[in-house]
């Protein structure tokens, strides 16, 4: 995705490392959520785990794609055929990342609705995919839709915190607020390079908070058991 963002030269390589880190952290978050589910039996924990597993896969695709572009584009700069191949691979990679990421966010949003009707999730995801596909600027559409889903999820946790005053709920709210903040900056990074760095740093803090929170919940559930 280096080919669609304005990336500061000094940040090249660091972003790939952070994306692999995001993939690892969100995978751990998914595992912890499934562990919480195995103890508590809460369906929300299972959906949380599934959502973050999809998000982890999306970051893995993004990291591998950016690593491929970073290592291959300099060698292919004088070869038009190889440049075309890189462009095609980039296009498929971007689409795969967007589908997996939106699938994960849609799963998290579906979780907040406390619904057991899977058709609602499928319908939401289908509408998201159609909206991105029909957009004249698909990457902008992807980030705008991501922001809507993140804002909805953050609002859910904020209202939950105001109702129950639990520290864990506030941590999750803060994490999704940071992810929303990061998505805004990723959108701006299409025209301003520094926003790309800010978006990555915001996401790093957010995913770390979510993982810490899940570890806390898991320990609490173990003590209850």
User: Could you read off the pLDDT of 191-225 as tens digits, one per residue?
Assistant: 667 888 898 999 999 999 999 999 999 998 887 76
- CA distances to 45, 116, 123, 133 from 151, rounded to whole Å, are 20, 22, 19, 22
Confidence class for position 50, pLDDT limits 50, 70, 90: very high
**Distances in whole angstroms, Cα of residue 119 to Cα of each of 116, 122, 125, 131:** 9, 5, 10, 18
Q: What is the pLDDT of residues 19-44, one digit of tens each?
A: 999 999 999 999 999 999 999 999 99
| Sequence-distant (≥ 6) Cβ neighbours of residue 72 within 8 angstroms | 82, 86
CATH code for the part of the protein at 9-224: 1.20.1070
Chain segment 107-163, per-residue pLDDT in tens: 999 999 988 899 999 999 999 999 999 998 888 899 999 999 999 999 999 999 999
36, 86, 95, 127, 156 from 176: Cα distances, Å: 20, 33, 23, 22, 10
Q: What integer pLDDT is reported at residue 91 of this predicted model?
A: 78
Residue with tokens 């004249």: 136
pTM: 0.91
**All structural domains of the chain with their residue ranges:** 9-224
């Amino acid at each position: 995705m280096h080919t669609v963002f304005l990336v500061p030269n000094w940040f090249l390589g660091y972003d790939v490392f952070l994306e692999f880190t995001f993939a690892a952290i969100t995978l751990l978050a998914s595992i912890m959520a499934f562990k919480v589910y195995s103890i508590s039996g809460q369906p929300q924990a299972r959906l949380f785990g599934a959502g973050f597993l999809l998000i982890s896969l999306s970051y893995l695709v993004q990291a591998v794609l950016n690593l491929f572009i970073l290592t291959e584009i300099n060698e292919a700069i004088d070869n038009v055929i190889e440049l075309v191949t890189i462009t095609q691979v980039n296009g498929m990679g971007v689409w795969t990342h967007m589908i997996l990421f939106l699938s994960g966010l849609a799963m998290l949003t579906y979780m907040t609705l406390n619904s057991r009707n899977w058709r609602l999730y499928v319908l939401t995801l289908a509408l998201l995919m159609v909206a991105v596909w029909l957009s004249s600027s698909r990457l902008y559409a992807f980030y705008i839709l991501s922001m809507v889903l993140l804002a909805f999820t953050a609002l859910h946790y904020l209202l939950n915190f105001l109702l129950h005053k639990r520290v864990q709920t506030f941590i999750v709210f803060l994490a999704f607020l940071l992810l929303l903040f990061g998505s805004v900056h990723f959108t701006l990074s299409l025209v301003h390079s520094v926003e790309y760095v800010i978006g990555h740093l915001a996401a790093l803090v957010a995913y770390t908070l979510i993982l810490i929170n899940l570890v806390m919940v898991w320990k609490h559930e173990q003590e209850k058991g």
